[in-house]
A = this chain, B = another copy of it.
């Protein structure tokens, strides 16, 4: 079978670390080009993504790994050029844009794929399977990390559209919406925004669900220099106790620890992309993004200490 010719638009750290090795290890893909404004990249490199789309012979698919801002425009033109589109998370700057891309993909019978890497641990699939059909007694999400360690010197995270602590928090939401056995809604949210920032450095969220009887909460905090953790703990009404740790890569189920024994997050993303392309289907999951929007629609904002830049 001839491999699917794919290009990466927006060649940066995540492309280099994750997308390139995952594409190269999948025999159904051939990485033929990359683009980045700086000109760095591998295979045939471009500084202008439009030139890439226009000139690469036989191109069939693109992975768009730029910052979210320009993704809609890029994806739209790629769909117009007949290319299947994979989008890094969050898929676009706003919710209206990804909805429009979904319609375009359907109209042109091309794949639009919103990826949420944290959903691709085998342990997350196991958790979802365990919880299916059950009533939930409680859920506690703790997503605590040190922003200065993970985003050194990055100012965009604090500006309009920068997401703040929802940048990691949306990974938690992507797991929660995948495993939770029913609707999950924002009941209230307390957002802590530094005096010199537009986006929250911490968020305390209370969820509600018709499928749950007890407290459902999330604590997202970017101020934890010690004791970082990325855990989701759930108890069900029938006594099942489950705990995802390490951002979803470990599952503690009734006292026994399982490690992710799948092919890895990004390899699994590309495995699924092949299936979607073969079946001419899209996979547009806006649930994690919508929960962030609902936090902003419903939340109460408090100003907190300025963040060091």
Contact = CB atoms under 8 A, between A and B. Distances in A.
A210 B76 contact: yes
A160 interface: yes
A163 to B, nearest CB: 8
A179 interface: no
Contact of A161 (B97, B184, B298, B301): B298
* Residue in A159, A160, A294, A297 with the greatest tally of chain B CB atoms within 10 Å: A297
B96 A184 contact: yes
A161 B301 CA distance: 11
A291 B96 contact: yes
A148 to B, nearest CB: 23
Contacts of A294: 93-96, 293
A97 B183 CA distance: 8
A100 B160 contact: no
A198 B300 contact: yes
Contact of A96 (B160, B290, B299): B290
A296 interface: yes
Nearest to A159: B300
Copies in the complex: 2
A227 B230 CA distance: 53
A185 interface: yes
Given A96-B287, A290-B95, A72 B296 contact: no
A99 interface: yes
Interface residues of A, number: 32
Contacts of A125: none
Interface in A274-289: 287
A4 to B, nearest CB: 27
Contact of A298 (B94, B185, B297): B94
A197 B10 CA distance: 40
A93 to B, nearest CB: 6
A219 interface: no
A160 to B, nearest CB: 4
Interface in A83-128: 93-97, 99-100
Interface in A167-219: 183-186, 188-189, 198, 210
A198 B189 CA distance: 12
B94 A161 contact: no
Interface in A50-96: 72, 76, 93-96
A294 B100 CA distance: 14
A100 B291 CA distance: 13
Interface of A: 72, 76, 93-97, 99-100, 159-161, 183-186, 188-189, 198, 210, 287, 290-294, 296-301
Given A159-B300, A161-B297, A293-B296, 4 more contacts: A76-B210, A94-B186, A95-B294, A160-B188
12 contacts: A76-B210, A93-B294, A94-B293, A96-B184, A96-B287, A96-B294, A100-B185, A160-B189, A160-B298, A161-B298, A293-B296, A296-B296
